[in-house]
Amino acid sequence: MVGRPRIGVLALQGAFREHARMLRDAGADVVEVRLPEHLEGLDGLVIPGGESTSILRLASLYGLDDAIRSFVGPILGTCAGMILLDRAHLGLADLEVDRNAYGRQVASFEADLELEGEERPFRGVFIRAPRVREAGADVEVLAALEGEPVLLRDGRVLVAAFHPELTDDPRIHERFLELVTEATSVRA
């Protein structure tokens, strides 16, 4: 990778514009991904929050599900994106995830999250968030809320149950871009 990393944002449904803005501000060039060929030459990919059933339906209509399964770079999945990456869907993160697992009363909420290795909390915006039921042995927990993992890393895949793109705090996107820089220097 020379210069700015090229990051794709799956732009079928959901909060893709917000991710694109955060990534540009954090120093990336952003490509909106709507077709398999848009994945070519990307250094990383973001799967946004939204409605996982709609995103998955559109992705399989365009052949993007298989294309994403063969994508080799780092991937960030937030909320619905985390659901899509789990064992039951694209199978790229060793996680079992429950959709809409917080009861109706607490379906959407905000909470300060302690980020591993950082003093300042991260404001987590949870909107009908998924919950991790089980994580494989190699999955690292980077933040938890009341004992439940909400930010996790499985190798090149980073997933958040919340919406970092709906805050002004770039730290999750910056961590993702660090993963991208590491991965591209290993491949170079």
Q: What residues make contact with ligand GLN under the rule CB under 6 A?
A: 49-52, 79-80, 83, 99-100, 127-128
- The nearest distance, CB 95 to ligand GLN, in angstroms, is 14
Instruction: Output 127 or 183, the one with its CB closest to ligand GLN.
Output: 127
- The nearest distance, CB 79 to ligand GLN, in angstroms, is 3
Please give the Cα distance from 175 to 100 (Å, whole number). 26
H helix or E strand, kind and range, residue 61: helix 52-61
Please give the Cα distance from 66 to 85 (Å, whole number). 12
Please give the Cα distance from 32 to 9 (Å, whole number). 5
Residue 144 CA, chain-centre distance (Å), reads 16
Instruction: Output 5 or 77, the one with its CB closest to ligand GLN.
Output: 77
Active-site residue set: 79, 163, 165
Residue whose entry in the numeric block shows the structure tokens 């009341």: 146
- The nearest distance, CB 48 to ligand GLN, in angstroms, is 8
- The nearest distance, CB 55 to ligand GLN, in angstroms, is 7
User: The tokens of 119 are what?
Assistant: 């003093």
In sequence order, the 6+-apart residues with CB closer than 8 A to the CB of 110 are 123, 124, 125, 126
- Residue-wise burial string across 74-109, b where 16 or more C-beta atoms lie within 10 A, e elsewhere: bbbbbbbbbbbbbeebbebbbbebebeebeeeeeee
Instruction: Output 4 or 99, the one with its CB closest to ligand GLN.
Output: 99
Instruction: Output 160 or 180, the one with its CB closest to ligand GLN.
Output: 160
Residue whose entry in the numeric block shows the structure tokens 């009363």: 105
Instruction: Output 80 or 142, the one with its CB closest to ligand GLN.
Output: 80
- The nearest distance, CB 137 to ligand GLN, in angstroms, is 26
